Amino acid sequence: MIYLFVRQVGLYVLQLVVEYQNKLHGTTNTALGELKTWDGEWFLGIAAGGYNDVPGRLTDAAGRRSAETPLAFFPGYPALVRWVDSLPGVTVEGAAFAVSLISGLFCAYGLFVLGRAVRGGSVPSGLILVTLFAASPMAVVLSMTYSEATFCAFAVWALVGVVKKRWILAGVSCAAAGLVRPTAGALIAAVVLAAVVAVIADKRDWRAWVGALAAPLGLLGYLAWVAIRTRDLAGWFGVQQRGWGSKFDGGSATWKFALEHLGNPRSELETGTVWLLVLAIVLVFYAFQRRLEWPLIVYAIGVIVMDIGSNGLMNSKARLLLPAFTLLVPLALVLARRRLSTVLTVLGLAVLFSAWFGAYSLAVWQYAI
């Protein structure tokens, strides 16, 4: 209920902002339409027709389109959408929103379990963690036809498996996440390292062996399939670089972007993105200070490194931080020990900021997120 309430606040604010923008500019946009834009159109196209029959109007960042362009998008989320779409009376758009909603609920419950399972965790910290995640700055994508909600659902259950040493759950969930987003690379690192440590401690722990071996199968399987289809060992990475100019440059492009927009701010979203990246780095150090379980920190660092280290679309970097939800765990643990009035004030402000930031990103910002 907490997750649904927070997300509903965000959608209500989005509706208000869309209506205001329509009056201001004489447009006829709808909140529903905004929730299907950008990458959402690609996922809907793949879900409806597969990789070979995506609408021709969809192009890469340079306005080009080839047979390999759709391969940039992982198959897990559109596959689930297509499965739901096969049910009687369900449209592909309705199926996509349903998958995002159900994924969000599974993720929320996983976060609640994680918030109780970590060192010093409790029921209140679990509930607060759910609220903080649902009120993340770019949590609006959890309500879109995007793959973030589905990835985060698999990721959190993989990490629950790690914390509770349920290695089969960790490995299978991680493998599934690998079919949804490339961010699974960070998750694989956390799960495999934790499983290896468990094996070193007890070589008879066959479940840890299975978890470690299963974890990378989804990601490696899709990358191998794209490599075969493109006849290029670096197939998926080549598609990303040619279509979206995205490659790992160690953070050089992000550093230039940060200096430029802190020195000469041009928009709320770009400036906000820089500060969110800074906040994420600060939260990593805070997680160390609060002695958060090391696999959760490894995962968060992996997400941040993949985000900051890429020279892809800078406007997407705030969204790409969303899976680093483990950085919210120490905040939840601290808030759980505070007075109820303090907790409600902090969470209320977070919900309102998230609602505004998400609405601005979709209804006001004119470029991709």
For residue 326, give the DSSP letter. G
- Scored b (16 or more CB within 10 A) or e, 33-72 reads ebbbebbbebbbbbbbeebeebeeeeebeeeebeebbbbb
Q: What is the pLDDT of residue 61?
A: 84
Tens-place pLDDT, residues 231-265? 999 899 999 988 888 888 888 989 998 988 888 77
Closest CA to 219 of 262, 174, 257: 174
- Kindly report whether the global pTM for this prediction surpasses the value 0.75: yes
Q: DSSP state, 16?
A: H
pLDDT of the residue at 312: 78
CA dist 65 → 15, 61, 316 (Å):
33, 10, 21
Ranges of the chain whose pLDDT falls below 50? none
Return the pLDDT at 264.
79
| Residue 245 Rama label (left phi>0; alpha psi -120 to 50; beta) | left
Residue where the block lists tokens 């299907």: 36
231: left (phi over 0), alpha (psi -120 to 50) or beta: left
Give the CB-side neighbour count of residue 358, counting CA atoms within 13 A.
32
Q: What are the structural domain ranges in the chain?
A: 2-364
What is the predicted pLDDT for the residue at 173?
98
Q: Residue 261: what pLDDT?
A: 82
Residues 6+ apart with CB under 8 A from 187: 155, 158, 159, 174, 177, 178, 215, 299, 302
